Chains A and B, each alone.
Chain A
């Protein structure tokens, strides 16, 4: 014998599943609908804002560069202990992956720091990756850096894949993200 209450439930369930299936189909989107191709923002899944800054050694750096690289953008200041603590790990990873499609851009928030202190940290840790100077603080403002250090891992397509707010980042963390992004 048919259980009518269960039959009613079956009809209800079928209705819900058909309507929700139709909703899935109707809400299908393209990357353009999501704005992931056109809108820049310092957030996972979006291309981060472009900038150009001078380095500590006087060279001009443009981001993004035409090269398809994995990039780690790290915002730091000399007075920030976790920023200083993660520098050796970043340097080791940089040396290990030199020659691969990998670049580190360490943006010193110079408007809140002293240039001589930043230079001392670079010398003390023997940093060979580019250290960029954000004299006006415009880049850190565009990247909404509220606490330091803040790091962005950007894939070869120029999209933010990981953000690390606070620190210090361990070498294992940098390596794990980097290896994943280089393999893509």
Chain B
């Protein structure tokens, strides 16, 4: 665990830096692999950049909207560099909306654009694992297993390392999967979504910070299950479309 890195008088937050590095590497990966999904690298770079910037601004605006009274007392804090004054769901909604608007404005197929951003998402997922490892967040439940790590007052499942391993496997799958000409656009994105939701669903069982709902069920597993069901359904539809095209051809 390395939450901060002291560099002279500066104290650098390693979890945040891991994510920034992942964003940069992810942008580069998506740009380099754009041609694989029949996209121009400039378009995919701009698409990601616009979505990211609007997502960050949206996350701040959403945080502001949720704590409006607090900001009235200190209006200039809207422009604060604080990493904590962001609302993730709000940022995701605004970033996704920008993504869709950019896609339509540039006459791109949404499924093709989704494939194009998949390398970025896969690298970001790996960066998230390193960010959790550095900050000691997303920690595991207590365990007696020999590979448990001493963290937060107990020997725990190294869930951050599990996440890094699963993200690396998924990243490898995405990087080595070259779509054939018969493949429908959207296959790479849906494959990533199903693998990622499946891994989160499985690994959540070892987490010590789960949000429990009725009967002790973990809420993040339910969300992962729904995403898994949707992405598998989507993959099935792509497969059906591909077979139909073959038949009619």
Report which A residues bind B (CB closer than 8 A).
3, 5-6, 9-10, 13, 16-17, 20-21, 23-31, 33-36, 39-46, 89, 92, 144, 146-148, 162, 164-166, 169-176, 179-180
Contacts and interface: CB of A to CB of B under 8 A. Distances in A.
Interface in B194-249: 198, 201-202, 204-205, 207-210, 212, 215-218, 221-222, 225, 228-229, 232-233, 235-236, 239-240, 243-244
Interface string B78-107: 101010110000000000000000000000
Contact of A44 (B4, B11, B137): B137
A39 B142 contact: yes
Contacts of B233: 13
B93 to A, nearest CB: 19
Given A33-B141, A171-B70, 5 more contacts: A6-B236, A35-B141, A46-B152, A166-B13, A179-B70
A22 to B, nearest CB: 11
Contacts of A41: 152-154
29 contacts: A9-B235, A10-B236, A13-B233, A16-B232, A17-B232, A24-B222, A28-B212, A28-B215, A28-B218, A34-B141, A34-B142, A41-B152, A42-B152, A46-B153, A147-B3, A147-B4, A166-B11, A169-B82, A170-B74, A170-B85, A171-B77, A172-B77, A172-B80, A173-B70, A173-B85, A174-B70, A175-B67, A176-B66, A176-B85
B241 to A, nearest CB: 10
Contacts of A24: 201, 217-218, 221-222, 225
B6 A35 contact: no
Given A35-B154, A175-B74, A23 B201 contact: yes
A89 B74 contact: yes
B148 interface: no
Given A175-B73, A179-B70, A23 B202 contact: yes
Contacts of A176: 63, 66-67, 70-71, 85
Contacts of A10: 236
A16 B137 CA distance: 29
Interface residues of B, number: 54
A42 B210 CA distance: 17
The 10 tightest CB contacts between A and B, nearest first, are A176-B67, A27-B205, A175-B70, A41-B152, A147-B11, A170-B77, A28-B216, A171-B74, A172-B77, A172-B74
A31 B152 contact: no
Contacts of A165: 3-4, 13
Contacts of A16: 198, 228, 232
A45 B218 CA distance: 14
B225 A20 contact: yes
A17 B235 CA distance: 14
A29 B212 CA distance: 8
B69 interface: yes
